[in-house]
Structure 1
Amino acid sequence: MFSINTSDTDLVGLSTPDPLRYAFSRKKGAHAGGHMSAIAPERVQEELKGALRFASTNIGAARCLYIHIPFCRVRCTYCNFFQYASSKTLMSQYFDALVKEIRWKSSFAWSQSAPFQAVYVGGGTPTDLSSEQLKVLGQMIRSSFPLTADCEITLEGRVNRFDTQKFESALEGGFNRFSFGVQSFDNTVRLAAKRLDKSDYVMDRLQSMVRYNAAPIVIDLLYGLPHQNLENWQHDLESYLESGVDGVDLYQLIEMKGLPMERAVEQGKLPMPADTAMKATMFQMGVEFMAKHHQRRLSVNHWASGNRERSIYNSLAKTTAEVLPIGAGAGGNINGFAMMQSRDMDTYIHAINQEQFPTMGLMQVAKDAALTSAIKSAFDRGVLSRSRLDKVAGYSLFEALKPLFEAWQSNGLVDVDNHYVQLTLAGQFWSVTLAQNAIQIIQENSKSALSTQVIIDAAVA
């Protein structure tokens, strides 16, 4: 049996009449995760070449490609990903290096040994690339890597300056899904967040692309921003339906630490963003709105308006799928290694020109990575299966975690039976926190068991 302190409110939440808003003081972060160990810098190049030199032995496993475009015209006040302003000269130099990296990495045996199910071009703002660059990039992806027949190739960005010519060029290049960070349709909220363009223009561009009927169009809406209230959040939800797009992600503002928003609030230039209780109310409004209008739920945060939107990359990235990273600031995992590529442009370009991996950190994935991924994926879907969890763990983990599940149930976060743990509305809002807490319990008990075994082995010796 696991040692689980069910009186630890940081672990099981508070016993409160309103767990949606007050089960925990705040979310732990945007994503759950596990532990990894660092590879010595002098071994990085050799280890990565070894990982890619041979064909994958994990035949049938899911794999994705992530390509990072680290440029934006402006930095949004809530954004922690801004790297470089969209200079045409610098973007041209970067694109040349990106093409070289695609050619180089696609030449490895690992890259050619199995098809990729999903490709995601993110940023930054990939839609700041020129029409010709978008077309070339799409064509290179399709010609350089083996892809499944139904491979989802997503281009992320904003509608700003993504005109009809760019859209048609991207389609011609082979992109078959488009994801736009709208965040809000309210002009006051947009201006405060430094989002470009007025809401009328955003709506017009979205509806124009939808009318092509050529690829799924999905959007992100962010709740908890300065100047957001329940009234304009309701309008955002209604605007999603009005736009006619194929899907929507509802994300909450997590942290302000170190962001332009924090400084603006401190200087009195922006009001405080919503607190956790208000964001919980907004989440509830979103869930109830989507249910009322019969939107198909793909995860705790993502809905589709019909059968066209699949969100393959986002789903696979939360599992044990391998992700080949390309571009400055791209992250991924291959053959038991997790990596992040350098964000520094000069470092990145120099490394690619030398056919060196521009990796600023290489980690050995933990032995329990598959289990950690299974838990993250399950909580993202909103339901944890006993059979699936025990199969991945290789032992009766569901039963070992039962005291944790029952404590969550007592606090209104989940419903538990002999086969499943299903997140309540409150549990869905706190899903990342719950996943992280489950992973924490498993890792703590695994360390305890390992320490005990070491002591026993020493005594026997």
Structure 2
Amino acid sequence: MKPVIFDSTDELIVGKDTPDPLRFAFAAKRGAHAGGAMKPVNPTLTQSVLSGALSLSGEASGRCLYIHIPFCRVRCTYCNFFQYASSEKLIADYFQALVTEIKRKSALKWTQSYPFQAVYVGGGTPTDLNAAQLKQLGELIRQYFPLTPDCEITLEGRVNRFNESKFEAALEGGFNRFSFGVQSFDSKVRRSAKRLDDGEVVMNTLQKLVRYNAAPIVIDLLYGLPHQTLDVWQKDLEAYIESGVDGVDLYQLLELQNLPMARLVEQGKLPNPADTATKATMYEMGVAFMAKHHQRRLSVNHWASGNRERSIYNSLAKTNAQVLPIGAGAGGNFNGISTMQHREMDAYIKAIEADEFPSAMVFQSTSSESIQSDLKASFDRGVLLKHELGEWFEALMPLFTVWQKRGLVNITPFAVELTLAGQFWSVTLATNAIQVIQNQTQAMLKSA
């Protein structure tokens, strides 16, 4: 394979030539995840394409199940995923349709051909389900889907109103990992982001759940929020250790437009969130803190306090793993196609009632999808291994070489390791590498 061709002066691809690449290599992070181009399927063929893909066995390696619960009691000011405010009636109607989809999709040949290694129930706020629904959902997953003996079954949510009865019901149903979006333990920061509980309540709830010693508890912390100074961020990191939970993700606040936070800042009701350079400093603090406290690193953003936290779903979902989506707004991929299900509740329920796949969009795999997945996983892990990337390792070497000069990577004979700056910009680097590959592939097709 020939080396990739790209504009080595394009700073959007290679980064700026700066003595401080951690803070200034790029202007800002453009998205939460690395993206790539996909080939859309004609909407008139959606049902037949999905039916065909799920009627085949497919591959055994890397299988996950994702179930989406699109409800929240309140929209956080920084959130771009809010869909529906929680109400008992709406949740009950949705849950009924969800159960129907679970039973239908679990019976398909693709689903039953090999076991799933990880299940993730996300949202939204899945913990807004009541105790009986949580227990039933866990039981349905275990009853209808083939699972590996060590399958990780995660329930995502927030600690607000997640009482002991809900926790015990979820455990009884079969959930064996819990992920809570804490974001910050500082009450002022939390209130400005419309988080519902004070930090002390969050801490007490987490410690109460940890004392059960029944399943790994992990949390998300978000850095760059309004009122979240470097001192506050340091206290957030210290509170993670104090809480006794099994793991933590450190995520930076994205500069998303048209969100409640942006409008509140414009209206003078909130101070500006941290700029990119400050967020880079916060990331640097987080990495140093985790190393000082001997936390086990699982990715560029995720750490574990011991050997209980595995983060199987998050790791697999960034590889070539196939993901079966269930629920309104869920996305997944299997047998060479990707799909995003209806976000609108009425459209989702109507499709379920009509015995149709509730998919709004379907895409076919491109020739470069495999290497794209490998790159996403590698950048998330913080190292690109030669034996995993194959011929693309050498083909991308011109790009890696420029990045090394920019202070973003270190090249060894068998790997490309991300520096601290490269780790901070990992999603940007992955996106750029994928863009270079796509440009190269398109050029080759045109010249063929």
Normalised to the residue count of structure 1, the TM-score between the two structures is 0.96
Contact 1:34–1:366 at 8 Å: present in 2 too? no
Q: Distance in 2 between matches of 1:398 and 1:333?
A: 25
SS of the residue corresponding to residue 323 of structure 2 reads strand
Contact 2:383–2:415 at 8 Å: present in 1 too? yes
SS of the residue corresponding to residue 111 of structure 1 reads helix
- Equivalent residue number for residue 444 of structure 2: 449
- Equivalent residue number for residue 195 of structure 2: 195
- Equivalent residue number for residue 144 of structure 1: 144
Q: Distance in 1 between matches of 2:283 and 2:294?
A: 17
- 1:13-24, aligned counterparts within 5 Å? 13-24=15-26
Q: Which amino acid aligns with 2:429?
A: L
Q: Which amino acid aligns with 2:8?
A: T
Q: Distance in 2 between matches of 1:174 and 1:32?
A: 32
- Equivalent residue number for residue 278 of structure 2: 278
- 1:384-403, aligned counterparts within 5 Å? 384-390=384-390, 396-403=391-398
Report the Cα offset of residue 41 of structure 1.
Answer: 1.0
Q: Distance in 2 between matches of 1:32 and 1:430?
A: 11
Q: Distance in 2 between matches of 1:335 and 1:111?
A: 11
Q: Which amino acid aligns with 2:289?
A: F
SS of the residue corresponding to residue 314 of structure 2 reads helix
Q: 1:418 aligns with which of 406, 413, 422?
A: 413
- Equivalent residue number for residue 301 of structure 2: 301
- Equivalent residue number for residue 11 of structure 2: 9
Q: Distance in 2 between matches of 1:110 and 1:417?
A: 41
Report the Cα offset of residue 400 of structure 1.
Answer: 2.0
Aligned structure 1 segments of 4 or more residues deviating by more than 6 angstroms = none
- Equivalent residue number for residue 49 of structure 1: 51
Q: Deviations over 1:247-267 (max 9, x none)?
A: 000000112311111111111
Q: Distance in 1 between matches of 2:27 and 2:255?
A: 13
Q: Distance in 2 between matches of 1:136 and 1:2?
A: 51
Contact 1:405–1:416 at 8 Å: present in 2 too? yes
Q: Which amino acid aligns with 2:20?
A: D
Q: Which amino acid aligns with 1:42?
A: T
Report the Cα offset of residue 3 of structure 1.
Answer: 1.5
SS of the residue corresponding to residue 154 of structure 2 reads strand
- 1:259-274, aligned counterparts within 5 Å? 259-274=259-274
SS of the residue corresponding to residue 360 of structure 2 reads strand
Q: Distance in 2 between matches of 1:39 and 1:403?
A: 34
RMSD: 0.8
Q: Which amino acid aligns with 2:444?
A: A
Q: Distance in 2 between matches of 1:229 and 1:14?
A: 27
SS of the residue corresponding to residue 76 of structure 2 reads coil
Q: Which amino acid aligns with 2:335?
A: N
SS of the residue corresponding to residue 338 of structure 2 reads strand
Report the Cα offset of residue 5 of structure 1.
Answer: 2.1
Report the Cα offset of residue 15 of structure 1.
Answer: 1.4
Q: Distance in 2 between matches of 1:141 and 1:90?
A: 22
Contact 2:114–2:146 at 8 Å: present in 1 too? yes
Aligned residues: 446
Report the Cα offset of residue 116 of structure 1.
Answer: 0.3
SS of the residue corresponding to residue 294 of structure 1 reads coil
SS of the residue corresponding to residue 323 of structure 1 reads strand
Contact 1:413–1:425 at 8 Å: present in 2 too? yes
- 1:331-346, aligned counterparts within 5 Å? 331-346=331-346
Contact 1:97–1:352 at 8 Å: present in 2 too? yes
Q: Deviations over 1:72-106 (max 9, x none)?
A: 00000000111111100110011111111101111
SS of the residue corresponding to residue 325 of structure 2 reads strand
Q: Which amino acid aligns with 1:329?
A: G
In structure 1, runs of 5+ residues without a counterpart are 391-395, 454-461
Q: Distance in 2 between matches of 1:379 and 1:291?
A: 20
- Equivalent residue number for residue 116 of structure 2: 116
Contact 1:70–1:123 at 8 Å: present in 2 too? yes
Q: Distance in 1 between matches of 2:9 and 2:82?
A: 41
Q: Distance in 2 between matches of 1:54 and 1:448?
A: 33
Matched, 1:126 2:126: yes
- Equivalent residue number for residue 233 of structure 2: 233
Report the Cα offset of residue 163 of structure 1.
Answer: 0.1
Q: 1:231 to 1:164 in 2, by over 3 A?
A: same
Report the Cα offset of residue 365 of structure 1.
Answer: 1.8
Matched, 1:33 2:27: no
Report the Cα offset of residue 28 of structure 1.
Answer: 2.5
Contact 1:78–1:260 at 8 Å: present in 2 too? yes
SS of the residue corresponding to residue 218 of structure 1 reads strand
SS of the residue corresponding to residue 80 of structure 1 reads coil
Q: Deviations over 1:295-352 (max 9, x none)?
A: 0000000000000000000000001111110001111111111111111111111111
Matched, 1:440 2:442: no
Identity %: 66
Q: Distance in 1 between matches of 2:254 and 2:124?
A: 19
Q: Distance in 2 between matches of 1:424 and 1:212?
A: 39
Q: Which amino acid aligns with 1:64?
A: C
Which of 293-302 and 337-346 deviates more? 337-346
SS of the residue corresponding to residue 315 of structure 1 reads helix
Contact 2:368–2:437 at 8 Å: present in 1 too? no
Matched, 1:431 2:446: no
Contact 1:115–1:147 at 8 Å: present in 2 too? yes
Matched, 1:289 2:256: no
Normalised to the residue count of structure 2, the TM-score between the two structures is 0.98
Q: Distance in 2 between matches of 1:256 and 1:73?
A: 21
Which of 70-79 and 438-447 deviates more? 438-447
Report the Cα offset of residue 25 of structure 1.
Answer: 1.0
Q: Deviations over 1:123-170 (max 9, x none)?
A: 000000000000000000000000000000000000000000000000
Report the Cα offset of residue 4 of structure 1.
Answer: 2.5
Q: Which amino acid aligns with 1:402?
A: M
Q: Distance in 1 between matches of 2:364 and 2:224?
A: 36
- Equivalent residue number for residue 100 of structure 1: 100
SS of the residue corresponding to residue 443 of structure 2 reads helix
- Equivalent residue number for residue 76 of structure 2: 76
Q: 1:406 aligns with which of 396, 401, 410?
A: 401
